[in-house]
Amino acid sequence: MLKKIVSIFLALTIAAACFAGCTKSRENSDGKVSIKIGSWPGEGSLESTIEKYENRLATMNKVYPNIEILKDTTAFDVKSFAIKASSGQLPNLYTPHYTEVAKIVNSGYAKDLTDFLEKNGYLKNLNPALTELLTIDGKIWAVPETCSVQGLSCNKALFKEAGLVDENGIPIFPKTYEELAQTAVKIKEKTGKAGIVICSNKNQGGWYFTMLAMGFGVNFVEKKGDKYVAAFNTPEFVEALQYIYDLKWKYDVLPENGFIDRTEQRKLFATNQAAMTFDYPPCDPYVVKYGMNMDDVCFCRIPGGKGGRVALIGGVLYMVSPETTDEQLDAIFKWIDISGQGPHLTEEVEKSLEEEYASTAAEGRIVTSNNMMDIWVNSDIVKKQKELRSKYNNVNDANFEDYFSFEDVIIKPEVSPCAQQLYTILDGGIQEIFTNKNVDIEKLAKDMCNDFQVNHLDKWED
């Protein structure tokens, strides 16, 4: 319980915040403004990621010698965040996921960025679809670092073997979940390979399943007064579970293994053992880790049900600790701009972007002509990104054209609150369906909803 943790550490919070305010001062003795940047790549990080950050640091030191960057290699972790925040140990800039914004803001661990964003030209260029997700009580509390929208990845080689490509050799993408099931059946019949692979483990099955269920019209959580209510014991939820059951037992289009996490999911897809799966494009591990033919990686819009084509948004955000001064805030956004994550294009940012796209292509990773989703709109940096993407483009854009249309796609954030707890419960339900042909789906739906309410939502406080 976040609020209970906060109350336990209340006295420490006040003292630590004061102490942190002193240690994270406006200026050092040499006149430099110091800012601590969280999630800095540390031991075990990819060499290319470490190099990217060090190059950014070198540019920052050259352009802004009066700003000192302090590295914090601690990655954001939901379980330890409240204790770390309440003891005044947050870096000035930290990187949570989209699902955590409301909890962080309601606990008092974030700085209001609205005025700064408006004054410095960020707000007018921020994608309106993202602005809404970052706004609480009329104020904006975060800036996107990365942003992705889920799609359906399709293995062109298996689609072609099954005769499911158009005259240009592009897969005939399923538009609805019913069409997805029919496509999976044809692929299994023609190739002997799984038509689709679905996660069921490590909370990743529940994560993807919430999106599928939303497409069936499911609403997982409602707020009634001050209370959160599990609202998903509905015919639509039972229908979504039945759909998963049918893929396994009626159509027989899933892998034999009933316990699949995202690593195994991607491996099966990339090694031609499965024709479709849910994922974020372009998904470099397909090619870099498993050696998949780059031209066989195709993405389309998420299929739809009676709830529409619902796709979950994911990624990482920049948020700022509340004790950060305005002077430090200005330094933080100079760092964000130097990193190429803001809307402002400078000579240094242009050079950095060119190096990153060149490196991506050289490493054999996919470079499409379009951003996966534009964080900034109507800005010079987006124009430059697309120019550089076209220069280093190494795939047939027709493989991604359907995905990039975003036509009729309803973009939603993950369920809140208690998303991870919900995913754990849903994982268990999916595993039960995959391993028990005689499962009572209506009872399973009721039990999962009750479990979520009693063991998580009833114990939650904003």
pLDDT in tens, 6-35: 443 334 343 334 434 433 444 565 779 999
More confident residue, 139 or 82: 139
Half-sphere exposure (Cβ direction) of 215: Cα atoms closer than 13 Å: 26
pLDDT score recorded for residue 133: 85
pLDDT of residue 98: 86
Convert the pLDDT of each residue in 278-329 to its tens digit: 999 999 999 999 999 999 999 999 999 999 999 999 889 999 999 999 999 9
Which CATH number, 3.40.980.10, 1.10.645.10, 3.40.50.300, 3.40.190.10, labels domain 2-141+315-338? 3.40.190.10
Instruction: Note the pLDDT tens digit of each residue in 86-117.
Output: 888 899 999 998 878 888 998 899 999 999 99
Predicted confidence at residue 75, as pLDDT, reads: 84
pLDDT tens track for 117-163 = 999 999 999 998 888 889 999 999 999 999 999 999 999 999 999 99
pLDDT band at 462 (very low <50, low <70, confident <90, very high): low
- pLDDT tens, position by position, 161-202: 999 999 999 999 999 999 999 999 999 999 999 999 999 999
Give the pLDDT of residue 60.
94
Looking at residue 20, its pLDDT comes to 40
Give dist(CA 9, CA 16) in Å, integer.
10
Intervals of CATH 3.40.190.10 along the chain:
2-141+315-338, 149-308+408-459
Q: Which two tokens stand for residue 442?
A: 């209506």
Non-local CB neighbours of 386 within 8 Å, separated by 6+ positions:
369, 370, 371
Give me the long-range contacts of 228-231 (CB less than 8 A, separation at least 24).
228/417, 228/418, 228/457, 228/460, 229/453, 229/457, 230/449, 230/450, 230/452, 230/453, 230/457
**Are the CB atoms for 300 and 401 separated by under 8 Å?**
no
Q: Which range, of 51-55, 192-196, 267-271, averages the lowest pLDDT?
A: 51-55
> Cβ-count burial of 113 within 10 angstroms (0-12 exposed, 13-18 middle, 19+ buried)?
buried
On the CB side of 11, how many CA atoms lie within 13 Å of its CA?
A: 1
Token pair for 349: 């940012």
Q: Look up the pTM and report it.
A: 0.84
| CATH H superfamily, domain 149-308+408-459 | Periplasmic binding protein-like II (3.40.190.10)
Give me the long-range contacts of 136-140 (CB less than 8 A, separation at least 24). Answer: 136/101, 136/102, 136/105, 136/106, 139/112, 139/113, 139/114, 140/112, 140/113, 140/114
Residue 223 has pLDDT above 60, yes or no: yes
Grade residue 44 by pLDDT with cuts at 50, 70 and 90.
confident
Residue 204 identity: Q
Which is nearest to 342 in space by CA: 382, 401, 397? Answer: 382
Adjacent-strand bridge partners of 345: none
Report pLDDT for 29. 56
Give residue 270's pLDDT.
98
User: Per residue in 343-389, pLDDT tens?
Assistant: 999 888 898 889 889 989 998 999 999 988 889 988 899 999 999 99
